[in-house]
Structure 1
Amino acid sequence: MASPEHTPEMEPLDRLTVVLYRSGLSLFALVSALKSAELLSGVRILGEWHLPLIAAAAATASANIHLYDPRFRWFFPLMSWLGFIALAFTLPVHAPNLVNSLANLSLAFFYAGAAMFAVKEYFCFRIPGLPLMPLLLGGSVLLRWAGFFTGEGMLLAPAALLYCWLVWAKWWMPLHYDIGDKSMYKI
């Protein structure tokens, strides 16, 4: 977590990675809000584009996250990689039930990563409800797996609203807050 007292020297790559990280979080917020609206209204908005857009959001955010502690730095992208591996196995499979299960498993990994981002950002913003993100997103995947799509939408809606609040707060803070003290990266 960055210290407001420290202003690091920002290189162009630093600015780019911060903008990409925030863009990934923003895409996740938007897609989650649209998917929850789709599930609750019954009107097709994203359809089959939901999972690819969530995957793109997870990849963009996890590839550009700035964490000091190397023990955690690898774990965030790991969730996205596991999601992509599960998603890749849907390609050669021709059994619809197995394809659906693998797609839901990949979504679970992408949501786990998104929940981790929310909990990480809670330490910066103290937005009430962000620590509940693992329950909201995990519960929505379980309800999806069970075929209770209205329930999935009911859990995804507050998660999307919290994420929208988070990205609104994130974009209002200076870019260097995401970088912090580079000497803490231990590279």
Structure 2
Amino acid sequence: MADPHIKSPMDVLDKLTVCLYRSGFVFAAIFTALLPYYEFAHIGLLAAALLCASSLHIYLKSFRLLLQFATWLALFFQIIGQTELALGAALVTLGGLCFKEYFCFRIFALNLMPIFVALLWVTKVMQITLGLQILCVICTALFTVLAIQKWRMPLHFDIGDKGKYQI
């Protein structure tokens, strides 16, 4: 998690990982909007989770590993053909990161994203079309707000104090 008031020195890898992380939320917004209409959209959400999980800047190792493990599970489930479980695991990562971003930067309603993405997953699996469409609109809007807010921030906001990271 970041301390925006602290500006640690950033190398090229730091800048790249922050950009990959932020791009994950752009992908999440796009593919959440497409989820009710295109079968491939869950692959885009998996890619979004991969972009974010590969580039996490979270001080606590246990939370970082938990969110990354959910993405590894999503990949595993996709490989074995369990697309519903793959989508669910990817949404765990994305919802968890939204929750984290709420506490780092107080972006409106992100603390509710774990609930919204869980309901989104249930409506997708249960094939409740209207519920899925409504939840996709809500989640797309929140992912979009998050992506816009993140890209407006200086890159160092995502890094914070490098001395606080657990290795």
Q: TM-score, normalised by structure 2?
A: 0.94
Task: Output the amino acid matched with 2:101.
Answer: E
Matched with 2:97 is: 117
Aligned residue pairs, count: 167
* Counterpart pick for 2:133 among 153, 176, 185: 153
Q: What are the residue-to-residue correspondences of 1:35-184 with 2, within 5 Å?
A: 35=35, 39=36, 44=37, 47-90=38-81, 102-184=82-164
Give the CA deviation at 1:3: 2.1
Task: Output the amino acid matched with 2:135.
Answer: L
CA distance in 2, matches of 1:186, 1:125: 21
Matched with 1:14 is: 14
Give the CA deviation at 1:59: 0.6
Q: Percent identity?
A: 35
Give the CA deviation at 1:157: 1.0
Give the CA deviation at 1:33: 2.2
Which blocks of at least 5 consecutive residues in structure 1 are unaligned? 91-101
Task: Output the amino acid matched with 2:20.
Answer: L
Alignment RMSD, CA only? Answer: 1.3
The answer to whether the Cα contact below 8 Å between 2:2 and 2:57 also exists between their aligned partners in 1 is no
Residues 120-163 of structure 1 show CA distances to partners (whole Å, capped at 9, x for unaligned) of: 00012322321111111111111111121221111121111011
- Give the secondary-structure state (helix, strand or coil) at the position aligned to 2:57: coil
- Give the secondary-structure state (helix, strand or coil) at the position aligned to 1:48: coil
Which blocks of at least 5 consecutive residues in structure 2 are unaligned? none
Deviates most, 165-174 or 177-186: 177-186
The answer to whether the Cα contact below 8 Å between 2:2 and 2:58 also exists between their aligned partners in 1 is no
